Amino acid sequence: MRIAVVSDVHANLPALEAVIEAVGRVDAWWHCGDVVDYGPHPDEVVARLRDLGAQGVLGNHDAAALGSSIIEWFNPFAQTACLWTRDRISAETRAWLAELPQTATIEGWALVHGSFRDPLEEYVTRGSQAAASMAVSGARLALHGHTHVPRAWRKAGDDARDLPLTAGRSLTLGDDTWFLNPGSVGQPRDRDPRAAALVLDTDAGVATLLRVPYDIGTTQVDIRRAGLPAILADRLEAGL
């Protein structure tokens, strides 16, 4: 199977559309949460993913948009965007988000937004965190998001090794235990403003990272027109 994996779309429709075009034909679409918030197109992004038949998990910003008190931990800009999203989303979008589980297993792959120790809040940025999350999941192959930075963690004893996950370079999975992060579609934070996505070839056991340029200006204009904080528009072109 050829599977597209996305995460942290954050209501950025131009970025998602660019990724869809770049990926081309696949057998399935999976997502690792944070479909909405920050960006100006929550309903449109959810409708697009729904049309693709995307399967995935709930992110912390998705939960906040549904009314979770997790919003109290957000910075002021994120709180403002989340409150705007709560008021903006349709009943159909709300229902789709509400059906998302915090963890899922699809075709032998375990999916989560943050970590399997703390699905909505923990950021996996160190090998010890990755290894601990792998142990909790019990899966050999797993996917997460939340950090907005592409990473490939390979289990090594009681720890995990961080291996390069760069655009256009294929990673052979073999029989090792992996915890992969596809990065962010709608708000990358690795100083590369291009949208990120992962393509899995499950038959060959290969994962390939894509970085896709998109019309950042359109999203920036829509953010400002919506009255969302200007910093959410400005940061897109810096990949922060």
- Residue 129: the pLDDT is 95
Computed over every residue of the chain, the mean pLDDT equals 96
Q: What pTM, to 2 d.p., does this model score?
A: 0.95
CB 20, CB 225: distance < 8 Å = no
What is the spatial distance between Cα 163 and Cα 117, in angstroms, rounded to a whole number? 22
Q: What is the DSSP string of 130-188?
A: HHHHHHHH--SEEE--SSSS-EEEEEETTEEEEE---BT-EEE-TTS-EEEE---SS--
Instruction: Report the chain (240 residues): mean pLDDT per 10 consecutive residues.
Output: 97 98 97 97 98 98 96 94 96 98 97 98 95 93 97 90 86 93 97 97 95 98 97 94
- Residue 210: the pLDDT is 97
Neighbours of 80 (CB within 10 A): 15
Residue type, 215: D
**Strands 109-112, 103-106: pairing kind:** antiparallel
How does pLDDT run across 179-238, given as a tens digit for each residue?
Answer: 999 999 999 999 999 999 999 999 999 999 999 999 999 999 999 999 999 999 999 999
What is the spatial distance between Cα 137 and Cα 156, in angstroms, rounded to a whole number? 16
Angle at alpha carbon of residue 33, lines to 14 and 120, rounded to 5°: 140
Which residue is it, tokens 């509400």? 98
Is CATH 3.30.70.790 what the domain over 2-196+209-238 is classified as, yes or no?
no
